[in-house]
Amino acid sequence: MKGLCILGATGSIGVSTLDVVSRHPEQYKVVALTANTNIEVLFDQCVSHKPEYVVVVDEEKAEQFKKKIQGSELSTIQVKAGVKALEFVSTLNEVDSVMAAIVGAAGLLPSLAAAKAGKTVLLANKEALVMSGDIFMQAVKQSGAKLLPIDSEHNAIFQCMPAGYVAGEPAKQARRILLTASGGPFRETPIDELHDVTVERAVAHPKWDMGRKISVDSATMMNKGLELIEACLLFNISPDDIQVVIHKQSIIHSMVDYVDGSVLAQMGNPDMRVPIAHAMAWPDRFDSGVKPLDIFKVRQMDFEEPNLERFPCLRLAYEAIVAGGIMPTVLNASNEVAVDEFLNERIKFTDIPVIIEKCMAKFSADIADTLEVILKTDQQAREQSYQIIKEMSL
């Protein structure tokens, strides 16, 4: 059995991962589960999967969780608190695979720790790779870790790569990646109406069941911008060789165009258990619990180029990866601040790209060659973003 640590167990990816685990109890043992504050869902997960360790980042919630399991069959669980504990469980000897599913910059350090420890990293946290770039990929290479992408698009690309492909290596026969996007809930909304978008509308994704932050990123297409940057790193390819394609049916999850004219596509129902099961079973396959695709119900598939006037966040992501250095870190940090402010109804939906662009203009593409530089840049970009928001509200 493989020992599994799930970073972000109570989020949508974590919940889906445990659903897949429950279908294959003979192959995976849940060693550690982590959560930020959601101890109610975490408790139920512990009842079902009996982990040895639990991390609750919020220290007050961690104390509440300890009291909750006192005197029960779960009392043997070791409960730890704080962000450093995430790195601890990511590197345990009993852990073979780490599902890196913490949303945002908070997932960087434990995901990087798992890579340095030579674990099989199931990467659902795209922000960790966007922020740390070559540092993360070097850690994977130096430790001998296995890196398997969980994002449906990157997992699709990985599946379409030649047999034996290793993440981070160039696929010499592949000349182009076609990175698909649903276009989110505002693909056809008149541009002049976007400033009135509510939080409820922004988080209502038409195809995927995702968390609130990622749903807003999908609505702005920043999610696709971050995936563009991630794809450049995962598949060692230039952004000029990646074409974003809006495919509203979300049946083709991405494609790889080869030098002989062949285009390989990975298809399936839009359910995150498909890429999760693929990565967990790799290089084999097992049941994900997802219904087979009924191609006759699909009937047709549409494709179109993204409108960068409608989706300026995608343009900003292209600019960040082309500039290189610390700019992807700046982009990600500013986006996290802006999205959080929008979710708390302190700014408008259309303010998100404005804040990011103004923040990026305050930085130059300095070399991002150490973790210290990345973390400092992340903090500075957040501070700048809050200052920009303050000035915009005056």
pLDDT digits (tens, 9 = 90+) for 141-175: 999 999 999 999 999 999 999 989 999 999 889 99
List 6's β-bridge partners, or say none. 33, 99
Res 394: pLDDT? 73
Task: Return the exposure string of 40-72: e unless at least 16 CB atoms fall within 10 Å of the residue's CB, then b.
Answer: eebbebbeebebbbbbbbbeebbeebbebbeee
Residue 61 has pLDDT above 90, yes or no: yes
Backbone angles phi, psi at 122, to 5 degrees: -95, 100
Location of each CATH 3.40.50.720 domain in the chain: 2-149
Report the C-alpha gap between 319 and 191 in whole angstroms: 22
Q: What is the spatial distance between Cα 178 and Cα 316, in angstroms, rounded to a whole number?
A: 19
Distance CA 242, CA 257 (A): 10
Which of these, 331, 344, 341, lies nearest to 381 by C-alpha position? Answer: 331
| Vertex 35 angle, CA 33 and 39, to 5° | 100
Crossing angle of helices 152-160 and 273-281, rounded to 10°: 50
> For residue 211, what pLDDT is reported?
78
Give CA–CA dist 125/102, Å, rounded: 6
pTM over 0.85: yes
The domain defined by 324-394 folds into: Rna Polymerase Sigma Factor; Chain: A (1.10.1740)
Question: Residue 206: exposed, middle, or buried by beta-carbon count in 10 A (0-12, 13-18, 19+)?
Answer: middle
Residues of the chain with CATH 1.10.1740.10: 324-394
Per-residue model confidence (pLDDT) at position 209: 63
CATH placement of domain 2-149: 3.40.50.720
Q: Percentage of the chain surpassing pLDDT 70?
A: 98
- What's the whole-number average pLDDT of the chain? 95
Mean pLDDT value of segment 331-335: 97
Q: What is the pLDDT of residue 105?
A: 85
User: Over the stretch 118-127, which tens digit does the pLDDT of each residue have?
Assistant: 999 999 988 8
Q: In which band, very low, low, confident or very high, does the pLDDT at 112 lie, cut at 50, 70 and 90?
A: very high
Amino acid in the structure at residue 95: V
Give me the sheet containing 97-100, strands edge to edge: 78-81, 53-56, 28-35, 2-7, 97-100, 120-123, 146-149
Q: What is the pLDDT of residues 93-107, one digit of tens each?
A: 999 999 999 988 889
pLDDT value of residue 104? 84
Cβ proximity of 68 and 43 under 8 Å: yes
Q: Rounded to the nearest 5°, which phi and psi values hold at 197?
A: -60, 130
- Strand 2-7 to 97-100 pairing: parallel
